[in-house]
Chains A and B, each alone.
Chain A
């Protein structure tokens, strides 16, 4: 048993210990006990992942663990990348949870015990090497996360609704993945990934195509790809903040992992239309996700929609990689896949950080409505700074982690025009436009989140009474902020790891390792994030020094410009809703907001207005149009089916008898 096997065994043991601690420890020490053990579990995950990324591999067969099939584990560099990310985020979030759960948000025994199990499931999914093992780990992840989403169901009614949506969507996704993988295993006459990989080339295109589409839909629903995103902006905000961070920064990644593993690893790539489908889904998700994020004023919902955007960008990159691969351009394919994987890593860093920041705000103020926040800068300076680092990453601006991976993605798309074919020349510009529009809207979205949520003056009593979070929460946020900054400045540190992860699924050569160094190089283009960031920071500092020399240090405090009408009050500020109003108007046709102005006149005269109330909702239009008819149809079928079951035993016996006869007839006809 090598380092990877030891690490995996260790993480299983630590999970047992952490879950036992969650069940057994008294309330006072529960958060600390579970947090420390789960952090150790995360660290074990990082060790496993890094070992796999450094070139070690691991495979094991445990025939006794699972009846009939047995458990097959296999860790290669691609699994290693996802395990490393999962482990690192679990480590930081577990430390965060010590403070979060320990100071006022105790989730109870059951949730404390489930939290490490959820973390372990996310480490094991990429390590699975057979269909049954994968499905068991996947379902463990789905069920534990569902139960964790429901943690606060007694306190808020929305939690129950979110749980229902999540349960239905995640199980439907599971069914599709089950169909895809079981069909694949049946057609390949073997259920281990190695057997499937060996046989996949000989399967008929129809089977391969159907399996890929089922996998795309199933894994896409886990990654929150439009139109299967409906559960994400409900479940992620309603879960307790540490769980939201894990779901949004790690669990969604595994949808991408599944897509890469099945589409590229097991099926070994496919025809062009597969990848065009993936790119289309990715581009629509990127733009639609960030558009919804830009108009919402619920901080956690905004972050959840931003997850849909980023997953869209990643799926777009994976699709582009497949497209280039099918066109016989392995070098470009490698760079596109590396861009997608790097975005997986950077997104996990900044999204975990942002959800941790949002959780701190929720804990300190009791609200996540941006329209009621503001002024947290003075009371919560560390949280504000950490959130700013995360926002810079999510806005894909220089100095932020997202900039590096989006730059690589854009480069691979721009250079992809060298691939011949009219379809490619139409699709790639649209893809570039989608990335560009989502990048532009992301800047507006995160300026809104940071500017109205943390700067300016408090818009409610809760925000005015905010106090800084406990030290463990701050430490976790600083850890994540540090990771995000390192990724933004020196992505080259991950270059050789990325190259190994990519090489496992597409043959690439040294292109990827060359592309991601301290200086990013894609064919003709180069960009040095270190020079850009260091230059900007350096010039700013020099300018600040010069300004001090010229005008001195002393600054006089003066009142704000109030148009001569007395000091401006906090209610006069722009809110998140008003900030987003121009964008909402511009994208009126897509978003279809519903606004309602209610004017109440005083009793004596219709001309004197007593009260005006303005109400606005931006419904999720895709959800509205797509899900409502389905729900209505399901309900209709349910009502009709009721007539079949009237309680008469005779009738039920008749059903059983007639089905038996029909089956026998069918059998006779087939034989």
Chain B
């Protein structure tokens, strides 16, 4: 059968080790990333800040509490945080963060990755509805609206990025970017980068789409949905939210800043790539946090305009991929 060769299709022990490393890195690093971003924000606002380790300390505190079942909630409410963590872990194992030779290269499809993240969102939205409170329903409704509108942008950007590679396989796309730097700085890539950046903000629930530190009914999206969670369940929800942010920033950097990603599973190459990956995501996080200081949250009904704008950029990226190549 003809077609482009796909890199990283062999499942090797070393490849699986890379995936495990990526998962471990995401679990350990995600709360630190959030802590770092809060710290950047605090310093820029003239506060001392709670320190980079605060999210981990919060998680530890929450894990020590007793699990609670709000009245009338069922199995959906209890399993949703687990599903969200699980889907995010799957995605963390699949995206080539540190090496294009991950153990699950064949399943690392861009569309499947997006669908897995959406599955996590849908599970948590169902949990929000399961509580039977106004807050839960409100958060679920808003979150699903944003997700539904972000989906076209993601797939259009995937379309633009995959046409030249002839594949939606993530390792193949990243590998092509590594081999030919011109691809990454082409108009197609730049347009797709801006389009996906807006989606990353929307999907990770950051300003200007959602404010992760708000508790005001009028503005809450994600926080309203998870209002009934407490103790260890809340710890999972918080961890999943932090991991989603890291994974989305990592995906963005793998697609648009692929340099430094290892093409083998050699120990030195992987260690170097890991360090570079941490730096890349850290810088992206810091820039995002700094940007948020100067940004106000958009009115909920202005968010579709932002997403429509990003969709337009993605369409332009596809058009560019056809006309400029």
Contacts and interface: CB of A to CB of B under 8 A. Distances in A.
Interface of A: 294, 374-375, 377-378, 395-399, 403, 407, 410-411, 414-415, 417-418, 425, 429, 432-433, 435-437, 439-441, 443-444, 447-448, 450-452, 455-457, 510-511, 514, 519, 521, 523-528, 531-532, 535-536, 539-540, 543-544, 547, 550-552, 554-561, 567-568, 570, 572-575, 578-583, 585-586
Interface residues of B, number: 91
B86 A543 contact: yes
Contacts of B107: 526-528, 531-532, 535
A436 B151 contact: yes
Given A447-B125, A525-B168, A528-B107, A556 B322 contact: no
B51 to A, nearest CB: 24
B166 A415 contact: yes
Contact of B163 (A403, A414, A531): A414
Contacts, number: 272
B301 A455 contact: no
A296 to B, nearest CB: 15
Given A523-B166, A524-B6, A558 B68 contact: yes
B46 interface: no
Nearest to A586: B304
Contacts of B154: 436
Contacts of B319: 425, 429
Contacts of B137: 451-452, 456, 573-575, 578-579
B211 interface: no
Nearest to A399: B119
Given A456-B131, A555-B69, A561-B228, A527 B141 contact: no
B147 A582 contact: no
B169 A396 contact: no
Interface in B98-145: 104, 106-107, 109, 111-112, 115-116, 118-119, 121-122, 125-126, 128-138, 140-142, 144-145
B133 A573 contact: yes
B119 A457 contact: no
Contact of B131 (A550, A560, A583): A560
Contacts of A574: 129, 134, 136-138, 140-141
B131 A425 contact: no
Given A455-B129, A514-B1, A440 B148 contact: yes
A556 B132 contact: no
A651 to B, nearest CB: 62
Contact of A582 (B104, B133, B145, B159): B145
Q: Is the interface of A mostly helix, strand, loop or mixed?
A: helix
A350 B154 CA distance: 26
19 contacts: A397-B119, A432-B159, A436-B156, A437-B151, A443-B118, A451-B126, A455-B74, A525-B168, A526-B6, A526-B109, A527-B111, A531-B107, A550-B63, A552-B67, A554-B67, A560-B133, A572-B134, A579-B129, A582-B141
Contacts of B168: 411, 414, 524-525
Nearest to B150: A440
A573 B315 contact: no
A664 to B, nearest CB: 62
Contacts of A456: 72, 129-132, 137
Give the top 7 A-B pairs by smallest Cβ distance, nearest first: A574-B137, A440-B151, A524-B167, A451-B129, A456-B132, A440-B148, A436-B155
A455 B159 contact: no
A578 B159 CA distance: 34
A531 B321 CA distance: 31
Contacts of B125: 447, 451
B236 interface: yes
A583 B69 contact: no
A557 B301 CA distance: 37
A433 B63 contact: no
A524 B322 contact: no
A397 to B, nearest CB: 5
Contact of B147 (A410, A444, A572): A444
A79 B167 CA distance: 33
B263 interface: no
A444 B134 contact: no
B100 to A, nearest CB: 14
Contacts of A511: 1
Interface string B212-255: 00000000000000011001100010000000000000000000
A578 B132 CA distance: 13
| A375, A450, A451: most-surrounded residue (chain B CB, <10 A) | A451
A167 B159 CA distance: 43
Interface in B162-219: 162-163, 165-169, 172
Interface of B: 1-6, 9, 63, 66-72, 74, 76, 78-79, 82-83, 85-87, 89-90, 93, 104, 106-107, 109, 111-112, 115-116, 118-119, 121-122, 125-126, 128-138, 140-142, 144-145, 147-152, 154-156, 158-159, 162-163, 165-169, 172, 227-228, 231-232, 236, 300-301, 304, 311, 315, 318-319, 321-323
A436 B132 CA distance: 30
Contact of B134 (A399, A558, A573, A580): A573
A225 to B, nearest CB: 21
B304 A417 contact: no
Contacts of A437: 148, 151-152
Given A511-B1, A551-B63, A398 B115 contact: yes
Contacts of B167: 523-525
Contacts of B90: 532, 535-536, 539
Nearest to A385: B75
A374 B76 CA distance: 14
B301 A582 contact: yes
Contacts of A374: 132
Contacts of A448: 141, 144
A532 B94 CA distance: 10
Contacts of B109: 407, 525-527
Nearest to A446: B122
A449 to B, nearest CB: 11
Nearest to A450: B126
A447 B126 contact: yes
A395 B122 contact: yes
A557 B68 CA distance: 6
B153 to A, nearest CB: 8
B156 A452 contact: no
A453 to B, nearest CB: 10
B318 A429 contact: yes
B228 A397 contact: no
A425 B320 CA distance: 11
A435 B130 CA distance: 29
B89 A539 contact: yes
A551 B159 contact: no
B141 A558 contact: no
Given A524-B165, A527-B107, A433 B152 contact: yes
| B63, B141, B311: most-surrounded residue (chain A CB, <10 A) | B141
B198 to A, nearest CB: 15
| B68, B140, B323: most-surrounded residue (chain A CB, <10 A) | B140
Contact of A457 (B5, B132, B138): B132
Given A443-B118, A456-B129, A526 B106 contact: yes
Contacts of B9: 526
B144 A539 contact: no
Contacts of A411: 111, 168
A570 B132 contact: yes
B174 to A, nearest CB: 14
Contacts of A583: 145, 148
B144 A447 contact: yes
B83 A540 contact: yes
A147 B282 CA distance: 66
Contacts of A540: 79, 82-83, 86
